[in-house]
Structure 1
Amino acid sequence: MNLHIFLAGEIHSDWRTELKEKAAHLPITFTSPMENHERSDQIGEEILGKQADSIQKDEAASRINNLRTSLLLKKADLVISLFGESYKQWNTAMDASAAIEMGKPLILIRPRELHHPLKELSSKASVTVETVSQAIQILSYIYDKE
């Protein structure tokens, strides 16, 4: 059984690379939001042409990025959403909430220090862990026969 997993979360650290390396022994296909931040910000103008101002530029890029994310979330069997301590997490919260609304199983990774601000989201996730390694243990358990 090959699982399709969408990796939601900030794009500034290498957490996805760590997770993929640790899960390399499992039959999993990973997708994620656009990880090239510059391209994500520019995609509206790349496709639709120069926008009138920075707000319209952001709106055009957001619509295209939201379409991409929505399609990939719908195809996912499972979503893993990581909240770190260093970056604003609005997109992560939006993607995790969308996964919950779609009925997708969700593994929420967040440090203990973020328990309080994420308590409502955590209570709706399938499971909440504190580390990438714990998420990998869950993925491995899915494939365990005994």
Structure 2
Amino acid sequence: MKLTVYLAGEIHSDWREEIKKKSAALDLPIDFVGPMEIHERSDNIGDDILGEQSTAIAKDHAASSFNNLRTSVLMHKADLVIALFGEQYKQWNTAMDASAALASGKPVILIRPEKLHHPLKELSRKASATVETCDQAIKALTYILE
């Protein structure tokens, strides 16, 4: 069996690469998908497709439409979602993606440090599993594939 896993979360650190490398080292049969990780590409995709927008708000609206389209398509095809809440960056998109996954019936593994327990308590209780590290999430994936 091969899984497709959507990796939801901030795009500024290398947490996705950590999960991908460690999963590959364990020879786990997983295809990983996720949001556009090139921040500039994500911010400019509306202009790239529709042409230059007239205001910063119009630019953000156009980009978010295409980013939401990408997320919707890839998340729909995924077998499960891993949503990482880190400590450094604002996590609005992660919360939106995790909630969308749960609303569509996708299993969700939530990664969050202990210090974010309280602000994420409701989301954590809805997730299929909550862990504190990427290594724990990989162990959960390994268990699924046993």
- Classify the TM-score, shorter chain: over 0.9
Q: Which residue of 1 aligns with 2:126?
A: 124
1:122 is displaced (CA, Å) by 0.3
Aligned length: 144
Map 1:1-146 → 2, pairs under 5 A: 1-24=1-24, 25-144=27-146
Structure 2 Cα separation of the partners of residues 128 and 89 of structure 1 = 16
TM-score by length of 1: 0.98
Tell me the alpha carbon deviations over residues 78-103 of structure 1, each in whole angstroms, 9 at most, x when there is no partner: 00000000000000000000000010
Paired amino acid for 2:137: A
SS of the residue 1:23 aligns to: helix
User: Any stretches of 5+ residues in structure 2 without a counterpart?
Assistant: none
3-state DSSP of counterpart to 2:13: coil
Shift of residue 143, structure 1, vs aligned partner:
1.8
CA displacement, residues 12-34 of structure 1 (integer Å, 9 cap, x when unaligned) = 00000000011111000000100
- What is the deviation of 1:123? 0.5
CA RMSD, Structure 1 to Structure 2 (Å): 0.5
Give the TM-score, by structure 2 length: 0.98
For residues 51 and 142 of structure 1, the distance between their equivalents in structure 2, rounded to whole angstroms, comes to 45
Structure 1 residues 112-140: Cα deviation after superposition (integer angstroms, max 9, x where no partner)? 00000000100100000000000011111
- AA in 1 matched with 2:9: G
- Specify the code of the residue in structure 1 equivalent to 2:15: W
Partner deviation per Cα, 1:50-107 (whole Å, 9 max, x = no partner): 1110000000000010001001110000000000000000000000000000100000
**CA–CA distance in 1 between the matches of 2:60 and 2:141?**
36
In structure 1, distance between residues paired with 2:120 and 2:82: 15
Runs of 4+ in 1 over 6 A off after TM superposition: none
